[in-house]
Amino acid sequence: MIEGVQKIKFEIHGDHRGSLIAIENFKEIPFVVKRLYYIFNTSENVVRGKHAHKKLQQMVICMSGSCDFMVDNGDEKEVIHLDNNHEGLYINKPIWREMSKFSSDCVLVVLASDIYDTEDYIYSYDEFVTYKRSVNK
Ligand code: T46
């Protein structure tokens, strides 16, 4: 997986009644969760994201259905197919992301390290590359 992105497997606590996954700050998730949002009802031909974050850390979990999650750290890119709820995609560096190929039942739950702040978004790919170079100096 490219630098700045990691897949984290969650433990499934299962018994005859079914399954349960628990996520705690600094245990399954390496930050304090300050916000949760979810993405659903997305059309299959839609591309979401197309931005990077300066500081925000996030854990993306595909609760149902599937989608493709493209991550790009400015040097390398990778398309990760998300299709299960016992793995999370942890993004902890400025990473350009684009989500596509949503199944009609896709629900993406995102745990975030901070509250919603439009100042943390970079919407231009060129700006993202310049920002990456400046923080890597
Ligand atoms: C990310 C990817 C994976 C809010 O009001 N509060 C929020 O916390 C968020 C995340 C969004 N919004 C509003 C802003 C827009 O009017 O919801 C609308 C859709 O947000 P956006 O266009 O940013 O959605 P995506 O799917 O392109 O991106 C989102 C997150 O914004 C982003 O942080 O990493 O999901």
DSSP, residue by residue, the chain: --TTEEEEEPPPEEETTEEE----BTTTBSS---EEEEE-S--TT--EEEEEESS--EEEEEEES-EEEEEE-SS-EEEEEE--TTEEEEE-S--EEEEE---TT-EEEEEESS---GGGEE--HHHHHHHHHHHH-
pLDDT for 82 equals 98
Q: Residue ranges of the domains in the chain?
A: 5-135
**What would the mean pLDDT of 36-41 be, rounded to a whole number?**
98
**What would the mean pLDDT of 95-106 be, rounded to a whole number?**
98
Q: What pTM was computed for the model?
A: 0.96
- CATH numeric code, 5-135: 2.60.120.10
Does the pLDDT of residue 30 top 80, yes or no?
yes
pLDDT for 29 equals 95
Looking from the CA of residue 121, the nearest atom of ligand 1 is 33
* Ligand 1 midpoint to CA 117 (Å): 10
Pocket test for ligand 1, best of 48, 55, 113 (most atoms within 8 A of CB): 48
